[in-house]
């Protein structure tokens, strides 16, 4: 595959490119800057990508912040909701046409969105998606992860209705030992440091289900699935609420300034 790494750190991105080239002896990997906390940056990234005239067979939505203090993105969105969810929502919608052109009957293009088991305790507050009334880092993070599951199911519904050769699935990577935990309470950090080898997955292990969703023949043509440990499993009951999916989609389109995909697809 020709891999494009999109990220908000030029140095980290170029280091990842260097390591991949070193390990695989291939030049088919590159870095493009994209800050998912910025609607402007996302649109600029999409323009750069389109200029390459590349097909897009797999889109992995994997960026995120966790348990950050209350703060806003440059567009004024609460950071968990703005970066974890709205950034991926806009990016995916802007790349949908390319994905639909790239997929075929035999080989569907695939959209993989990384959520979390935290979505099981998440509550979607449609009247307060920005958590303005009462901010809780845990609540805001869980809401953003639930929104990603609702988004995936609604997207798959629209793709199926349109007859597109594109599938959308959502992945739970498990508890992975990464820098995401830098904002947790210091006691939790100490416990994590002491027990990570026993209870936490390595980044490589955490990526396995995402890779499975991206390339495995077993999920060819299958969409609207919640995947954990490379198996289909059940997400939170509320995530299957089709009316909630539809309302979140419509509100998300309004927030990021695009037309409702339901109207464009159907």
Show which residues are catalytic. 141
Alpha helix stretches (DSSP H) within the chain: 10-24, 39-51, 79, 87-102, 137-162, 186-199, 203-215, 242-256, 261-265
| Integer Cα distance of 40 and 182 in angstroms | 27
Strands 231-233 and 226-228, how do they pair? antiparallel
CA count, 13 A, side-chain hemisphere, 45 = 24
Q: Are 111 and 158 in contact (CB under 8 A)?
A: no
CB atoms within 10 A of CB 179: 8
Pull the structure tokens for residue 241. Answer: 């609420």
Give first-to-last CA distance, the chain, whole Å.
32
Q: CB-hemisphere CA count at 13 Å for 240?
A: 7
Rounded Cα distance, 217 and 57, in Å: 14
Q: What distance in Å separates the CA atoms of residue 138 and residue 183, rounded to the nearest whole number?
A: 11
**Element spanning 113, H or E:** strand 109-114
Facing residues of 113 across strands? Answer: 61, 170
What count of other Cβ atoms lies within 10 Å of the Cβ of residue 62? 16
């Amino acid at each position: 595959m020709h891999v494009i790494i999109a990220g908000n750190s030029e140095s980290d991105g170029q280091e990842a490119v260097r390591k991949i080239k070193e390990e695989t002896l291939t030049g088919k990997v590159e870095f493009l800057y994209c800050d998912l906390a910025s609607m402007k940056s996302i649109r600029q990234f999409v323009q750069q990508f389109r200029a390459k005239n590349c097909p897009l067979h797999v889109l992995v939505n994997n960026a995120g912040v966790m348990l950050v203090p209350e703060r806003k993105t440059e567009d004024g969105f609460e950071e968990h909701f703005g970066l974890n969810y709205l950034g991926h929502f806009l990016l995916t919608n802007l790349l949908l046409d390319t994905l639909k052109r790239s997929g075929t009957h035999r080989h569907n293009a695939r959209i993989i969105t990384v959520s979390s088991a935290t979505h099981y305790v998440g509550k979607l507050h449609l009247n307060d998606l920005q958590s303005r009334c009462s901010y809780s880092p845990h609540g805001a993070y869980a809401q953003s992860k639930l929104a990603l599951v609702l988004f995936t199911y609604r997207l798959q519904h629209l793709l199926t209705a349109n007859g597109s050769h594109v599938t959308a699935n959502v992945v739970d990577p498990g508890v992975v030992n990464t820098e995401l935990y830098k904002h947790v309470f210091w006691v939790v950090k100490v416990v994590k440091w002491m027990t990570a080898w026993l209870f936490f997955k390595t980044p490589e292990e955490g990526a396995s289900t995402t890779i499975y969703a991206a390339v495995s023949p077993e999920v060819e043509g299958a969409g609207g699935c919640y995947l954990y440990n490379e198996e289909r499993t059940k997400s939170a009951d509320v995530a299957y609420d089709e009316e909630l999916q539809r309302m979140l989609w419509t509100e998300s389109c309004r927030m990021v300034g695009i037309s409702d995909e339901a109207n464009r697809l159907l």
